[in-house]
Amino acid sequence: MSSVYLVLPVVLPIVGGALMPILHLPDKKRNLLLEILVLLTSAIALLCVYRRPEAGFTLFHLTGNLDFALRLDGLGSVFTCLIAILWPLSTLYAFEYMRHEERTTSFFAFYTMTYGVTMGIAMAENLVTMYLFYELLTLVSVYLVMHPMTKKAIRASRTYLYYSIGGAAFAFISLIFVIVFGDTTDFILGGVLNMEKIGNNVSTMLFVYLLSFWGFGVKAAVFPFQGWLPKASVAPTPVTALLHAVAVVKSGAFALMRLTYYCFGPDFIRGTWVHFAVMSIAMLSIIYGSTMAVKETHFKRRLAFSTISNLSYIVLALTMMSPLGLLAGISHLVFHAVMKIGSFFSAGAILHQSKKEYVDELDGLAKKMPFVFTVFTLCGLSLIGIPLFAGFVSKWNIAAAAMEVGEQYPYAYMAVMVLLYSALMTAVYILTVAIRAWFPDRGKELHSNEKITDPNWEMKLPLGLFAITVLVFGVCSEPLMQVFRAVVQGTF
């Protein structure tokens, strides 16, 4: 199909969201309209992936050899599908969750615009376009963080803003270098750097890669720039779930993939000091995230920390600088999205139904809301990486990649160790919650008299779907893996 259609998934939500506040609709109508809009967008996006236009579509010419252009390649399609499938579900969930909040219209306006912008990141044809949408993503999603409008939320949103803009500022440097030292800014698997042009600037180039790794990594919450993520979990759950488990942070990881495998090229970095530097960064953030998660008693913040560590799984996989690594990265990108959004939504459902935020308040709650906790436990087991759950597959891939690289650079064995350490930590911080909920100590069931029930279908549906997905992919992930392999080989 013609490449013009690529514009729709990006523009529709942005425009639609922007219009929302203008036409003052009653909530019911608005929700219906939004859901339709989102579904339509997703449909178009999936269609675009299904009948993929080879050519890109140039929105307009910026300057020199820079244009804003959209194009779907393998990696982009994967990310697009991920978002296109997850967004409608979480919108549905959001309706129920936000029912009693204020300023819902503006919330949903930005929520939808974020959809479009994320699509833009997924479909960006070149570094400049991605940079543009990357900045925009910050700007549109910052409102969502500050939406509760408490002092805390506003402070959190500011932190988020500074971190992201700062990151972008450093990413910008790499943009320049790629413009000058690359053949093109388009994403080409294997990198676009031109060795003649670089000449004797290799060391500078590597340093720049490190800078921009951190720059884009800020959104992926790599150490030491992870600070904003736990803070941002003051936001409403649909936001924390979607943005801080899928859209924003995954865009960070996605950007890193683009930067590493499609701009600088793994061969350029493999074996240099930077290679090990980034590997260590990833490991550090994994250790940090999972350890802090154990320490944290606020449920959502605990999940946020877990997100930090899990994102760095993806990053760690990338830093293997090998096709297998990219494969592992992609698979964890997808699977983690599903299971983390699942666990976040369970947390949100618990918060919404029982107003309980802290882990030690959850004793025996599972008896009251078995459905939610079943979902949570399943997602949790998947996070730990128990076989037959999706998480295991992606972790297996990461470890396999690390083992392969380890042949050449034994440092990579460390990566596997770190992986297992954090798996153990994950077990600790997830299962303590689950066990508290299912098997409370005698006399600790505080909830015998409280009226707490499972939420209504709008919340249940997404939760159930996520749980099922986790199981299904855990048991038969092969078809998906074949697609990913194709992506990695550039044959998709």
**Which of the residues 310 through 369 are near other proteins (CB under 8 A)?**
none
10 Cβ contact list (under 8 Å, min separation 6): 70, 116, 117, 119, 120, 123
What is the distance between the alpha carbons of residues 475 and 383, in angstroms, rounded to a whole number? Answer: 15
Give the shortest CB-92-to-other proteins separation in angstroms: 27
Task: Decide if residue 172 touches other proteins (CB under 8 A).
Answer: yes
**Minimum CB separation from other proteins for residue 289, in Å?**
17
387 is a site residue for other proteins (CB under 8 A): yes
Q: Is 69 in the site for other proteins (CB under 8 A)?
A: no
Does residue number 486 form part of the binding site for other proteins (CB under 8 A)?
no
Positions in 85-104 near other proteins (CB under 8 A): 103
Spatial separation of the C-alpha atoms in residues 139 and 151, rounded to whole Å: 19
Residue 60 interacts with other proteins (CB under 8 A): yes or no: yes
Q: How far is the CB of 109 from other proteins (least distance, A)?
A: 13
Q: Near other proteins by CB under 8 A, which window of 18-26, 118-126, 261-269, 438-446?
A: 438-446
Q: Which of 1, 4, 169, 486 binds other proteins (CB under 8 A)?
A: 169
C-alpha–C-alpha distance, residues 110 and 117, integer Å: 10
CB of 407 to other proteins, least distance (A): 8
Nearest distance from residue 393's CB to other proteins, in Å?
A: 6
β-pairing, 57-63 vs 66-70, is: antiparallel
Does 152 bind other proteins (CB under 8 A)? Our answer is no
Nearest approach, Cβ of residue 423 and other proteins (Å): 6
Q: Tokens 């790599």 appear where?
A: 222
According to the binding rule CB under 8 A, does residue 149 interact with other proteins? yes
Comparing CB distances to other proteins, the nearer of 32 and 62 is 62
Q: Using CA atoms, how far apart are residues 70 and 57, in angstroms rounded to an integer? A: 5
Structure tokens at 403: 């083992």
- Does residue 216 bind other proteins (CB under 8 A)? no
CB of 424 to other proteins, least distance (A): 5
CA geometry: angle 343, 348, 354, nearest 5 deg: 125
- With respect to other proteins, which residue has the nearer C-beta, 393 or 463? 393
Could you tell me the sign of the dihedral formed by the alpha carbons of 415, 416, 418, 419, in that order? positive
Residue whose structure tokens are 């087991």: 381
Region near other proteins per CB under 8 A, out of 4-12, 77-85, 92-100, 204-212: 204-212
Choosing from 7, 46, 139, 452, the residue that interacts with other proteins (CB under 8 A) is: 139
Residue 143 CB, shortest distance to other proteins, in Å, is 8
Q: What is the size of the binding site for other proteins (CB under 8 A)? A: 71
Residue 411 in contact with other proteins, rule: CB under 8 A? no
Sign of CA dihedral 175, 173, 325, 9: negative
- Using CB under 8 A, which residues numbered 234 to 293 contact other proteins? none
Given the rule CB under 8 A, which of 93-101, 114-122, 148-156, 244-252 is the region that contacts other proteins? Answer: 148-156
Residue owning tokens 């579900």? 89
User: Which positions ≥6 away from 402 have C-beta within 8 Å?
Assistant: 316, 320, 412, 413, 415, 416, 419
* 194 touches other proteins (CB under 8 A): no
154 forms part of the interface with other proteins (CB under 8 A): yes
* Dihedral, CA of residue 350, residue 352, residue 357 and residue 359, to nearest 10: 0
Stretch near other proteins under the rule CB under 8 A, chosen from 108-116, 129-137, 334-342, 343-351: 129-137
Which of 170/254 has CB closer to other proteins? 170
Residue 178 or residue 257: which is nearer to other proteins going by CB? 178
Coil, helix or strand at residue 187? coil
Contact yes or no for 408/401 (Cβ under 8 A): no
Exactly one of 80, 126, 141, 157 binds other proteins (CB under 8 A); that residue is 157
Using a 10 angstrom Cβ sphere, with 0-12 exposed, 13-18 middle and 19 or more buried, the burial of residue 147 is buried
Report the C-alpha gap between 136 and 116 in whole angstroms: 10
Q: The tokens of 452 are what?
A: 């707490």
Q: What's the CA gap between 248 and 111, in Å, rounded?
A: 12
